[in-house]
Amino acid sequence: MASLPRARESRTEDPDRGADAAVISLRGAALAYGERVLWQDLDLDVRPGEFLAVLGPNGSGKTSFVRALLGQRPLSAGTLTVLGRPPSKGSRHIGYIPQQATLSEHAMLRARDLVRFGIDGHGFGPRLRTAAVRRRVDEVLESVGAAAYADVPVGLLSGGEQQRVRVGQAMATDPRILLCDEPLLSLDLHHQRAVTELVDARRRSHNTAVVFVTHEINPVLGLVDRVLYLARGSYRVGTPDEVLTSEAMSQLYGTQVDVVRVRGRITVVGVPDEVAEPPHHPELPHGVRP
Amino acid sequence: MTIADGIWQQIFSFDNYGELLALVRNSLIAGAALGLVGGLVGVFVIRRDLPFAVHGISELSFAGASAALLLGVNIVGGSIVGSLIAAGAIGVLGSRARDRNSVIGTLMPFGLGLGVLFLALYKGRAANKFGILTGQIVAVDTPQMSWLLGTSAVVLVALAVMWRPLTFASADPDVAEARGVPVRGLSFAFMLVLGLAVALSVQIVGALLVLTLLVTPAAAAARITASPVLLPALSVVFAVASIEGGILLALGSSIPISPYVTTISFSIYLACRLVGTYRTRQWGTGRTVPEPG
């Protein structure tokens, strides 16, 4: 059952664990589908307030990484803890923002209803505690700049507006981790910036850790603390300057790959065809997902 | 008397209306229950994009009802069995939206074929056969009533329990799953609820016209509101108005009930579309602040 005050308490319940204890911790972690290993021997700690971008070609295990964090997929080996515990399904401490297209065209709900589902949509039976929840929804809509269209059916909102509401929905439970799975897909540059700014603002104001899965680093390049790059059953982790280099990428892909930096934008050139499906074309809007 | 007058009299006749009304008291009660169920279930039929599934289930429900007619057992029971088999099959085989329509398209003619077979073998009154396809009002006797009301109660309780997570899962399945909603389980549970609702509707409006109760009222309501309270409420009002209006108009005539119900239901839909065009414009301009960023 939704209970907002509890969420606030839980952030302060353990001051000793404070700023530096990892909110996500992986040790020797591996994920495999039968023989096919997506990634293995993954050691990673994500700290509060950190912005981690998860990059990699299609099929490199980005989505499986997200599903593991959400408790929807067990690891094949190693350990994963989220907030000091094994990941559990439906944790209120994780705010999840998927790509825009996953929202049903037939939703027949208003923006405010969507945000509200972020708080109490999982509960069976009739609603309780409605006044407090309603206040929280108004607060959240205001904070993501969606108050003006709070009562408009989500089907009539633009993709960018829908994602803005989604960010609000994810923040409604006051989570300690924001898990973003390609949230910028099919948005234009203007809305990409609006959504990333909202996510970044939340991280700064509440020290929320951000795990941002994307096939396109450039829209978030200025915000990223570290990059986890998955490819060919292996990975690299480090700052963008450490990971997104010709040397590191060539090693990861096992072939000559060039990382080109032009005016603060990064393009990876020469990724082998079989893994190169999401093209690194920063200037193109990503309209269609294959 | 011209031919046109004659046809008019067949469609609308209010002779001895008071006496007739007493005969259909049961039907009116069943109709109210059905309107309530149809209006509420319809909201999710629209949200989950399932109108074709409704049609598919109703054909197997028809097969079940005709089998029951042939065997001389309870028709409502037969109709429910057929519905549940169809709904379960669609739920299992067509859990992914991509496969669903082809699964339904495959089941539907098979169900219809079975129904035709059973009706061809049946040697009883022709009106009984016709009734399963196009609806009937006087056939609701007391034992059938308890079946209808009991099934309605099951559907309403199931909906009340799963309404909120089902709405969440229908609108935004990925986020719902991330928040711990059992999306696949709910999807299957709803198919079974839908199966029961279809079996109920078949009794009154007939297998061919179930969509008029399970789709049209909710589709009409969706044109004018997205409020999670007003939408189901209006859908119920529209469904009840269609079915009770249909029963009352059909009473004195020799024509089946379904054209009355479908015409009222469709008129409501048209009116809502008109209002909806205005509402959409209002929503579009109702944003007091231009989108920042």
- pLDDT tens per residue across span B98-152: 788 888 998 899 999 999 999 989 887 777 777 778 777 655 677 778 888 999 9
For residue A61, the tally of other CB atoms under 10 A from its CB is 25
Contacts of B49 in chain A (CB under 8 A): 104, 106
Q: Where in the sequence is the domain holding A81, given as residue range(s)?
A: 4-275
Question: How remote is the C-alpha of B92 from its chain's centroid?
Answer: 22
Contact A109 B43 (CB under 8 A): no
Q: How far is CA B5 from CA B35, B252, B259, in A?
A: 32, 15, 19
A280 within some domain = no
Contacts of A121 in chain B (CB under 8 A): 164-165, 167-168, 176, 179, 181
pLDDT value of position B284: 64
Contacts of B175 in chain A (CB under 8 A): 96-98, 102, 117-118, 166, 169-170
The amino acid sitting at B266 is F
- At B28-83, the pLDDT tens digits run 888 899 999 999 999 999 999 999 999 999 999 999 999 998 998 888 899 999 99
A86 within some domain = yes
R_g (Cα) of chain A, nearest Å: 19
A109, A122, A179: residue with CB nearest B165: A122
Q: Which long-range contacts (CB under 8 A, 24 or more apart) does A276-281 make?
A: A276/A57, A277/A57, A277/A58, A277/A59, A278/A57, A278/A58, A278/A215, A278/A216, A280/A215, A280/A216
- At B189-233, the pLDDT tens digits run 999 999 999 998 888 788 888 899 999 999 999 999 989 999 999
Number of domains chain A contains: 1
A285 within some domain = no
CA distance A235 to A114: 36
Number of domains chain B contains: 1
pLDDT value of position B140: 63
Cβ A201 vs Cβ A36: under 8 Å? no
pLDDT value of position A11: 43
pLDDT value of position A288: 37
Q: How far is CA B130 from CA B12, B62, B77, B205, B266, in A?
A: 20, 11, 18, 11, 23
Closest CA to B50 of B168, B228, B188, B239: B188
Q: Where in the sequence is the domain holding B110, given as residue range(s)?
A: 16-208
A46 burial (CB, 10 Å; 0-12 / 13-18 / 19+) is: buried
Q: What is the pLDDT along chain A (290 residues), one digit of tens a residue?
A: 444 444 444 444 444 444 468 999 999 999 998 888 899 999 999 999 999 999 998 888 898 999 999 999 999 999 999 999 999 888 899 999 999 888 888 888 999 999 999 999 999 988 877 899 999 999 999 999 999 999 998 988 999 999 999 999 999 999 999 999 999 998 988 999 999 999 999 999 999 999 999 988 999 998 999 999 998 888 999 999 999 999 998 988 888 888 988 888 888 888 876 544 444 444 334 433 33
A102, A127, A148: residue with CB nearest B173: A102
- ipTM metric: 0.84
Contact A152 B171 (CB under 8 A): no
**Which one-letter DSSP state was computed for residue A262?**
E
A35 within some domain = yes
Chain A residue with the nearest C-alpha to that of B222: A108
On the CB side of B207, how many CA atoms lie within 13 Å of its CA?
A: 30
Report the run of H or E that residue A97 belongs to, with start and end.
Answer: strand A94-97
Closest CA to B63 of B191, B155, B198: B198
Q: How far is CA B175 from CA A143, A180, A206, B115, B151, in A?
A: 20, 11, 22, 42, 32
pLDDT value of position B18: 76
Q: Greater confidence, A55 or B19?
A: A55
Opening angle at CA A58, ends A55 and A62, nearest 5:
50
Cβ B238 vs Cβ B187: under 8 Å? no
Cβ B261 vs Cβ B134: under 8 Å? no
A289 within some domain = no
CA distance A283 to A62: 23
Q: Which long-range contacts (CB under 8 A, 24 or more apart) does A154-157 make?
A: A154/A103, A154/A107, A154/A109, A154/A110, A154/A111, A154/A114, A154/B171, A154/B226, A155/A105, A155/A106, A155/A107, A155/A108, A155/B226, A156/B280, A156/B283, A156/B284, A157/A111
A287 within some domain = no
Most distant CA atoms of chain A, gap in Å: 59
Contacts of B166 in chain A (CB under 8 A): none
CATH value at residue B25: 1.10.3470.10
pLDDT value of position A20: 63
Strands of the sheet containing A36-46, edge to edge, are A36-46, A24-33, A77-82
Residue B266: pLDDT over 90: yes
* Chain B interface test: which of A106, A112, A162 (most B C-beta within 10 Å): A106
Report residue A219 as tokens.
């829209």
A62 within some domain = yes
Q: Does B161 touch chain A (CB under 8 A)?
A: yes
Cβ B60 vs Cβ B82: under 8 Å? yes
Confidence grade of residue B286 (pLDDT, cut at 50, 70, 90): low
Report residue B45 as tokens.
């039929």
Q: Does B45 touch chain A (CB under 8 A)?
A: no
B232 within some domain = no
B47, B167, B287: residue with CB nearest A149: B287
pLDDT value of position B153: 96
Contacts of B282 in chain A (CB under 8 A): none
B125 within some domain = yes
Residue in the block written with tokens 């399963």: B132
* Chain A interface test: which of B175, B190, B227, B234 (most A C-beta within 10 Å): B175
Contact B180 A155 (CB under 8 A): no
pLDDT value of position B137: 62
CATH value at residue A252: 3.40.50.300
- At A84-107, the pLDDT tens digits run 999 988 889 999 999 988 888 888
Chain A residue with the nearest C-alpha to that of B287: A148
* Chain A interface test: which of B46, B156, B177, B179 (most A C-beta within 10 Å): B179
pLDDT value of position B209: 82
User: Which are the contacts of B230, defined by CB distance < 8 A and separation ≥ 6?
Assistant: B221
Contacts of B292 in chain A (CB under 8 A): 145, 194
